[in-house]
């Protein structure tokens, strides 16, 4: 049956960022609902973000569209233009190749829960405007901006 039993979907905690970038984004807990449901064209994660933590480092993708929907709690969305609150039942979209880095920060006292949807591309690159980090999905590695590897 196509309904997803979220109790059966594994939880993945943490991030793959090299230190020290994993610290604030390492508390997120994701469940890959799209994968669990057999989808391949896009990913759907149910993500829980504890108080004081970040969804990710601020970033933008060259080849992947992203969309988020807040299911409970309150987040702050941060982009080049500043901050805006994202409450329960609100939405944001991040078109691919739009060079405006974004991330979500939980400054509230409650865990926030959101759904994140992202397309998939074999040759995506991810830019991080605030830090010396770069992601190349074809290579499958994080590097410094100059391409040199992290230890």
Query: Considering the complex, what minimum distance in angstroms separates the CB of residue 20 from its own copies?
Result: 27
23 binds its own copies (CB under 8 A): no
77 binds its own copies (CB under 8 A): yes
The rounded distance, in Å, linking the Cα atoms of 140 and 44 is 20
In Å, how far are 36, 52, 73, 78, 131 from 82, measured between CA atoms? 35, 18, 20, 6, 17
125 binds its own copies (CB under 8 A): no
In Å, how far are 37, 86, 106, 107 from 43, measured between CA atoms? 10, 21, 22, 26
In Å, how far are 135, 136, 150 from 145, measured between CA atoms? 9, 11, 11
Nearer to its own copies, 46 or 133 (CB): 46
74 binds its own copies (CB under 8 A): no
Give the x-and-dash track for 89-118 against its own copies (CB under 8 A).
xxxxxxxx-x-x-x------------x-x-
What residues line the site for its own copies (CB under 8 A)? 1-4, 6, 33-34, 36-42, 44, 46, 64-65, 67, 69, 71, 77, 79, 81, 84, 86, 89-96, 98, 100, 102, 115, 117, 119
């Amino acid at each position: 049956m196509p309904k997803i039993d979220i109790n059966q979907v594994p939880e993945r905690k943490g991030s793959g960022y090299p230190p020290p970038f994993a610290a604030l984004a390492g508390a997120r807990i994701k469940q890959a609902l799209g994968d669990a449901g057999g989808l391949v064209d896009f990913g759907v994660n149910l993500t829980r973000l504890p108080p004081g933590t970040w969804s990710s480092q601020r970033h933008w993708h060259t080849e992947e569209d992203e969309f988020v929907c807040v299911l409970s709690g309150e987040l702050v969305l941060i982009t080049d233009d500043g901050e805006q609150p994202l409450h329960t039942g609100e939405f944001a979209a991040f078109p691919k190749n739009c060079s405006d880095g974004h991330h979500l920060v939980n400054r509230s006292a409650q865990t926030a829960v959101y759904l994140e949807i992202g397309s998939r591309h074999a040759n995506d690159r991810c830019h991080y405007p605030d830090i010396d980090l770069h992601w190349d999905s074809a290579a499958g590695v994080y590097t410094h901006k100059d391409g040199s590897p992290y230890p």
